[in-house]
Structure 1
Amino acid sequence: MEQHDPDPPPPPQGGILWDTAGDIRSLLALPAAFVLQVAHPAVGAGVDAYSVFRTDPWGRGTRSLASVLLWVYGGEAAAEEGRRLRRVHRDIRGTDAHGRRYHALDPAPYAWVHATGFPVSRRARRYFARPFTPEEDERFYAEWLRVGRILGIHDRDMPPTVAEFWPYYARTLAREIGPNAVVAELTDPRRTLPPPPGSRALRLLWPLLGPVLARSLGFLSVGLLPPEARAAIGLPWSARQERRLRRVAVLVRWTVPRLPERLRYLPAARRARAAARRP
């Protein structure tokens, strides 16, 4: 039986993920990745029954982002974060919309949650940054597999190369992925978002800001899905929406690379990158 080291190492400093995971542009791809994850019936059922994405989307989002950044920039803490996530998911089980029993740590859905990051990140880069070269694709995928080991995903449950990833991805889209109630909520531009905790001024302005944010999240959730994933889920996307996304992308692609590092990178990434440069 295949065994991993007790503490799999995080991706390398100076690698693809080191440069991209903490870039603020990565935030724009998160809604689409979440939609593609929950479009799997087992994942959608688990999120529907156990997640606080409805009642505490801000807390959930903050915790999820902190976890992702630990996988890449956390050093020795990355492996402990992987163990913590597995402990959190041990009791998540039930029956999906097709009447099939599921458990959050079942190899296929657990690997799918991680796998979605690869096609969605590549899609987002087509808009917001220079697309990866084929060689960078290979490096990115190899580093993403290393992150998977931190999460406890066995190599046998993820395709070992980019060439083998795409048939796996196509099969999963064809056999498993589809619409469900959670997807409908996440992509609904009229969804009601509770105000974030903290600022009283922000809460007062929330009747105006909340609907704008809901529309933006719905737009990015659908627009940054690869077209084949949108088709599998049954989400519409018009030429007019595509033109709008491309206009937004021009602004992001021009602005973000010109920002200083303290504004371009999220705090955890910025601290890790600064520490790595110290002699």
Structure 2
Amino acid sequence: MTEAPDHPAPPPPGGVLWSLTGDVRALLMLPSAFVLQVAHPAVGAGVDEHSVFRTDPWGRAERSLRSLQLWVYGGEAAAEEGRRLRRAHRAIRGTDAHGRSYHALDPAVYAWVHATGFPVHRHAARYLVRPMTEEQERRFYAEWLQVGRILGIRDRDMPQTVEEFWPYYRKVLADEVEATAVVRELLATDVPLPPPDRGPLPLRLLLRPLWPLLWPRFARFRAFVAVGFLPPEAREAIGLEWSDAQERRLRLLARVVRAVVPALPERLRYLPRAREARRAHRLSRAGRPAR
């Protein structure tokens, strides 16, 4: 196994991540990945003690999404973003709920945060896009490993094949994850959320007076998709309930999303950085400079 290179390249244009990560449907997958991350006691403790997810949830979400988009579409900026994240996590340390010391850059903990994206996106894509073929799944995992190298994760700290990943994943589910305090808080539907402070000013002004009515519905929807798009084995390991009625509602939502999103124009279907990268890639293939 090799060390992560100093200047790892982002995943290739046209790959699985290139198509999946910039699609607006990915926004429905991210809450599940965050829940699975913080279900690890060390990650949950780090987020509980050091994150601004309570005081600045919209800003945190925006920064996380911007970072994720850079890993895939950032070109030369991807590696610098990975280095920035490692610098930002150096001071994150403390003691978890079981009295155990943790550090955000502990290789096993740091690798788990990244690893969660693979099973969550694979599972959610079955609902929101289409099930991956075996070849697509292998390509997706190889590209996810490449993103891990951008983040500074060494090859020896991550399973290098899909076949090696599943035993590792099941072992962490069996031995580590639990309904941490942060998991419970993220899925709570009675904890008030501040009104959005990101996005176009007219939209924020419109939402502000309506927010007392909207935030409980938003909180319920967020909790619903966060639990719903978790792989069933992850829900079971954390101890989250999921009923047949909820599953039927999730499938109905997914059918609507699958029908609507592919019909959207590109400016609405893809997130801004993804749109820019896709346009630049088309122009480069045509031999024309991007403006």
Residue type of the alignment partner of 1:145: L
Q: Which residue of 1 aligns with 2:135?
A: 135
Q: Which residue of 2 aligns with 1:55?
A: 55
Q: Which residue of 2 aligns with 1:121?
A: 121
**Counterpart check, 1:207 vs 2:203:** no
Q: Secondary structure at the match of 1:25?
A: helix
**Counterpart check, 1:242 vs 2:247:** yes
TM-score scaled by structure 1?
0.98
Q: Secondary structure at the match of 1:12?
A: coil
Deviations for 1:8-65, whole angstroms, at most 9, x for unmatched residues?
Answer: 0000011111111000000001001000000000000000000011111000000000
Q: Secondary structure at the match of 2:136?
A: helix
**Counterpart check, 1:228 vs 2:233:** yes
Output the CA distance in 2 between the equivalents of 1:50 and 1:192.
20
Q: Which residue of 2 aligns with 1:252?
A: 257
Q: Which residue of 1 aligns with 2:154?
A: 154
Q: Is the 8 A contact 1:8 1:146 kept in 2?
A: yes
Output the CA distance in 1 between the equivalents of 2:175 and 2:181.
18
Q: Which residue of 2 aligns with 1:98?
A: 98
1:270 maps to which of 262, 267, 275: 275
Q: Which residue of 2 aligns with 1:79?
A: 79
Output the CA distance in 2 between the equivalents of 1:74 and 1:37.
24
RMSD of the alignment, in Å? 1.0
Output the CA distance in 1 between the equivalents of 2:44 and 2:2.
29
Residue type of the alignment partner of 2:90: R
Q: Secondary structure at the match of 2:102?
A: strand
Q: Which residue of 2 aligns with 1:183?
A: 183
Q: How many residue pairs end up in the alignment?
A: 279
Q: Is the 8 A contact 1:187 1:218 kept in 2?
A: yes
Q: Which residue of 1 aligns with 2:16?
A: 16
| Structure 1 position 213, deviation (Å) | 0.6
Q: Is the 8 A contact 1:9 1:79 kept in 2?
A: yes
| Structure 1 position 219, deviation (Å) | 0.5
Output the CA distance in 1 between the equivalents of 2:62 and 2:225.
18
Q: Which residue of 1 aligns with 2:44?
A: 44
2:266 maps to which of 261, 265, 278: 261
Q: Is the 8 A contact 2:24 2:269 kept in 1?
A: yes
Q: Is the 8 A contact 1:189 1:219 kept in 2?
A: no
Output the CA distance in 1 between the equivalents of 2:216 and 2:237.
27
| Structure 1 position 190, deviation (Å) | 2.3
Deviations for 1:221-274, whole angstroms, at most 9, x for unmatched residues?
Answer: 111111110111001111111111011011001111111211110011000110
| Structure 1 position 189, deviation (Å) | 2.3
Q: Secondary structure at the match of 2:84?
A: helix
Output the CA distance in 2 between the equivalents of 1:217 and 1:111.
25
Output the CA distance in 1 between the equivalents of 2:144 and 2:265.
27
Q: Which runs of 5+ in 2 are unaligned?
A: none
| Structure 1 position 4, deviation (Å) | 3.0
TM-score scaled by structure 2?
0.94
Q: Is the 8 A contact 2:3 2:155 kept in 1?
A: no
| Structure 1 position 6, deviation (Å) | 1.2
Residue type of the alignment partner of 1:158: M
Runs of 4+ in 1 over 6 A off after TM superposition: none
Q: Is the 8 A contact 2:4 2:153 kept in 1?
A: no
| Structure 1 position 100, deviation (Å) | 0.7
Output the CA distance in 2 between the equivalents of 1:31 and 1:4.
28
Deviations for 1:53-103, whole angstroms, at most 9, x for unmatched residues?
Answer: 111100000000000000000000000000000000000000011111000
Output the CA distance in 2 between the equivalents of 1:182 and 1:23.
27
Output the CA distance in 2 between the equivalents of 1:106 and 1:205.
43
Report % sequence identity.
68
